[in-house]
Amino acid sequence: MADFNTFLQDHADCERKASAMAMSFVAKYPDRQAIIPELIETGIEELQHFQQVYEILKSRGVMLTHEIQEDPYIKKLLALCRTGRDERFMDRLLLASIIECRGAERFKLVYEALEPGETKKFYHNLWASEAKHGNIFVKMALEYFSEADVYKRLEELNELEGGIVLSLPIRAALH
Ligand SMILES: [Fe+2]
Ligand SMILES: [Fe+2]
């Protein structure tokens, strides 16, 4: 919060990437038809978030940055993906859910730290929206895999994600 402008720049980058991630599922798994409408919906919502963060940046006289260097959090998470078509598909969906839930947690913290106003309201809404996305990606996994398999893997990945978060330095960024 002491460097909120830098945080906002990173946040904008994360929203843009979240939109791209949702759409990359559509590009990579065109045969998984049951989840395509929700993926498109999610991609649009993330792009709207990007637009809203951009407006906040603009109102503060802060520019977007060049693509911020690879996010160490995301990089470490993606390295947890198993190989094999189905395993990879499941892991990508569950990691997407975990990323969304972590985002929701962080937006709640930002919301709590902000003074009353439009930006505070925005972060409150984002918290709810990202928590919803967290559920959606698990629901998508449940379209294709058993409840037992999904929740077992989700627990494993959550455990690993917790370790990754603890290993990262604290900086003015979402992760
Ligand atoms: Fe978002
Ligand atoms: Fe999201």
Q: pTM (2 decimals)?
A: 0.95
Sign of the alpha-carbon torsion through 30, 96, 62, 169? negative
Distance 52 CA to ligand 2 centre (A): 13
Q: Note the Cα 155 to chain centre separation in Å.
A: 18
Cβ atoms within 10 Å of 148's Cβ, excluding its own = 8
Say how far apart CA 169 and CA 37 lie, in whole Å.
Answer: 37
Which ligand is in closest contact with the Cα of 39?
Answer: 2
Q: Could you please report the per-residue DSSP string of 93-111? A: HHHHHHHHHHHHHHHHHHH
Which ligand is in closest contact with the Cα of 131?
Answer: 2
Distance 125 CA to ligand 2 centre (A): 11
Q: pLDDT (tens digit, 0 to 9) for every residue of the chain, 175 residues total?
A: 999 999 999 999 999 999 999 999 999 999 999 999 999 999 999 999 999 999 999 999 999 988 767 889 999 999 999 999 999 999 999 999 999 999 999 999 999 999 999 999 999 999 999 999 999 999 999 999 999 999 999 999 999 999 999 999 999 999 9
